[in-house]
Amino acid sequence: MTLAFQNSRGSGPGIPLPAGKVRVYKQDDADNSLEFVGEDLIDHTPQDEKVRIYLGNAFDIKGERIQKEMKQLSERSHEETWQITLRNHKKEAVTVVVEEQLQGDWKIRKESHPHKKKDATTIEFEVPVEKDGEAVVEYTVLFKW
C-alpha cells in the first residue's frame, strides 16, 4: 500500500521536506485514538513535488493477474490480453492503482478502464473497488518490433 500526495500548499505541507523517516497514523473511528499505519524513508523532496510513502502490503486487498490470450499477428507483431481481478475485503471502498510494465513499441487496443501512461514502459489503471467487492480490469495490447 502506498500513500502519495503532492507537496504543495493546497494539499500540504507545501515546504521542502528533508530526507528521513515518515510515520503515518490514522484516526480510529471507534474511540478516536491514533492507529499506526506504517512508515517509510523519503528523499529530500522540494515543494510542489510528489511524495510516495510505502506503508507495506495490504493484506485485505488481493489481486490476481492472468494472461487470457496471446496471438502472433505477424513476424513482427503480437497481441496479448490480460485480466486483473481485484478483491476488496475492507469495510470501506478503495481505489487500487494497478501498474503494468510494457516493453518495446506497444499500443493499447482495448481496455475496460482508462489507463494513464506514466512513461515509455509503464501504464496504470485507477480502479475503484467497493467494500467486500470485486473489480476486473482487462486490456489488450499490441506489440510491434
List residues bridging with 26 in a β-sheet. Answer: 35
For 43-85, the DSSP string reads --B-TTSEEEEE----TTEEEEEEEEEEEEEETTEEEEEEEEE
Q: How far, in Å, CA of 97 to CA of 44, rounded?
A: 25
Q: Report the CATH number that the domain containing residue 109 is assigned in CATH.
A: 2.60.40.290
Residues 16-46 pLDDT 10s: 999 999 999 999 888 989 999 899 999 999 9
Run of H or E including 105: strand 105-111
For residues 75 and 11, membership in a common domain is answered with no
List residues bridging with 11 in a β-sheet. Answer: none
Domain range for 29 is 2-54
> In this model, does residue 12 exceed pLDDT 80?
no
Question: Considering its fold, how many domains does the chain have in total?
Answer: 2
Contacts for 69 with CB less than 8 Å, ≥ 6 apart: 79, 80, 81, 140
> In this model, does residue 107 exceed pLDDT 80?
yes
pLDDT at 29: 82
- Residue 10 binned pLDDT confidence (cut-offs 50, 70, 90): confident
For residues 12 and 38, membership in a common domain is answered with yes
Residues 51-82 pLDDT 10s: 999 998 888 999 999 999 999 999 999 999 99
- Residue 96 binned pLDDT confidence (cut-offs 50, 70, 90): very high
pLDDT at 30: 84
